[in-house]
């Protein structure tokens, strides 16, 4: 990876997480929009949910880099929110189903899945570029991952 974007291409220290199944994805998105987005409003929920639904529409569909970046960053931020679920289990608890799509990974693993698509998301100079950078900054506020907030 090139050393550009102020170190944003630093190789992730975690292994990337596989794309979660829809139920887990919805849980992480719900946590993001209930706890993170109200404090730092970066994404429009209706627009994001349209992207989310398109991403899960067809089994085996190839997702674009923009979708993968935005979805995985929201999953990362949602996974980092420390709240209990209605069953009283801590947020990081492993589900009983061991398939990789239903297992919740650490926030850094979703971040590692997203960051490889950052460069493809940047370049239009529009709102989406700003949203991509703000999601990264939002995550960096919660979790100390390279290159850090600064």
pLDDT for position 14: 73
Q: pLDDT of 103-113, one tens digit each?
A: 888 999 999 99
**Helix or strand (DSSP H, E) at 131:** helix 127-142
Question: Is the pLDDT higher at 142 or at 106?
Answer: 106
pLDDT for position 124: 78
Mean pLDDT of the chain: 80
How many CB atoms sit inside 10 A of residue 122's CB? 16
Cα(14)–Cα(67) distance, integer angstroms: 21
pTM beyond 0.85: no
Q: pLDDT of 71-128, one tens digit each?
A: 999 999 999 986 444 443 444 444 444 555 678 889 999 999 999 999 988 887 789 9
Cα(17)–Cα(8) distance, integer angstroms: 19
Instruction: Give percent of the chain above pLDDT 90.
Output: 55
Domain boundaries, the chain: 5-142
pLDDT for position 85: 46
């Amino acid at each position: 990876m090139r050393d550009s974007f102020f170190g944003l291409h630093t190789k992730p220290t975690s292994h990337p997480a596989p794309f979660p199944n829809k139920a887990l994805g919805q849980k992480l998105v719900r946590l993001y929009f209930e706890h993170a987005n109200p404090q730092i409003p970066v994404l429009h929920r209706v627009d994001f949910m349209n992207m989310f639904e398109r991403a899960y529409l067809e089994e085996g569909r190839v997702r674009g880099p923009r979708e993968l970046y935005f979805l995985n960053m929201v999953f990362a931020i949602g996974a980092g929110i420390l709240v209990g679920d209605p069953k009283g289990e801590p947020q990081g608890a492993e589900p009983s189903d061991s398939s990789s799509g239903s297992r919740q990974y650490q926030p850094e693993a979703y971040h590692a899945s997203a960051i490889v698509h950052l460069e493809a998301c940047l370049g239009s100079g529009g709102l989406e570029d700003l949203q991509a950078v703000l999601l990264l900054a939002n995550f960096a506020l919660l979790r100390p991952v390279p290159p850090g907030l600064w």
